[in-house]
A and B are shown apart, each in its own frame.
Chain A
Amino acid sequence: MRTLFNYLIFPGFLFSACVGLIACWIDRKVTARIQWRVGPPWYQNFVDIVKLLGKETIVPAGAKITFLLSPVLGLLSTILVATILGVTVRLPLESFIGDLIVVLYLLIIPAISIIIGAFSSRNPLASIGASREMKLVLGYELPFILAITVIIIKSAGSIQIGSILNHQINFGSNLASFSGMLAFLVAIICMQAKLGFAPFDMSESEQEIMGGVFIEYSGLPLAIFKLTKAILLYTMPLLLIILFWAKNLTILASIGKYIAILVIIILIKNTNPRLRIDQAIRFFWGPVTSLAIIAIALALFGL
């Protein structure tokens, strides 16, 4: 019963969806202010979701069953991540050993569900979008995992999020060290790609392939994808805070740290044009991966 409550209400679906949608609103509002626009009211994203729920769901002819299943798959896994992270923050030693690995796996699933859904829609533009997304996943996963490895090395080889948290409470944030800072930088860049924001939004670039992976989605499945993205906007910064910046996790400090990371995301998003997919991969496998490897080397030397 408690697990179900954790999963569905707090800190799972309902809570993370609300926070995620508010974060989306902050994103839209700040973006609008940067661009000399007014921006939407705070409830705009909720209204958008409700409106999409009321719209007709159009399934393209010949689409496989995975077309409708993949959004659900993506949503379920992101909620699971939100739940694991949320419970860990409150009761660090409640969870099991190896939950960091599980979280990393679950975080790839939304991208994979987008790829599966796009391919099963049988639209050529969606296929192009999906192949871009696939290349992007291959690009950013390597440096992201390397950055997480830095954390594992720094917390004495622990792969349990709770003990990483406790380690930081006892010995200070990982961010305070040189290697931690480098790994944090790498993780922020990878997070930008995981969230699908500019300059890594080529999988759904509206000007080139008209929304790409989401081109055939409408109504409820589209709403689920939007919700997944919103929840990711809550969980990804939360994961980074827990892994890198967890010295002081009172409610006020957490909110402050979360907003700080959100502002970084929004600033990167608004000061960069979209990269080409080959440039993005070269970027991730070249400079970003080298940076991550340097961070690992520094961490091994105890810096």
Chain B
Amino acid sequence: MRAVLALGGVPQADLLDGVQQVRLRLLERAANGQEAPRDVSAWAAVVASNLAMDWHRAKKRQERIGERLASLRQLEHPSGEDTSLLSLAVAQGLDELPDAQRQVLVLRFYADLPVRGIAEELGIPEGTVKSRLHTAVRALRARLHEDEVV
């Protein structure tokens, strides 16, 4: 759950807060007499991803995970490592995606939700989910080719 928030651009300092908010929503749901979600993990992942989007719409600047990764990398490997270039490139690619595409990408390939599940939880048509995913993956692939990291 924290990782879904982080991949959506929520800074590390706010992660715990984000997790608390997701848990609160689950409690609220129960308190309102709604049924527990059929798949709690999937539901939590979607709520977390929505929170991440809301978070940086409210702020002026989204945390760029590419920058954060780069600074982490400097700490551990001042000499630099080829193998990290790919991760950095992917992170930068994520930063450049529009929110909606980034969200479905994280839900599909980090949280491993199926397309239908994403569509249901977000309340959008499957076709929209597929289209966003397709565009996002194409963009990342093209970027990684340009950067010649793959």
- Do the two chains belong together in a single complex? no
A→B interface (CB under 8 Å)? none
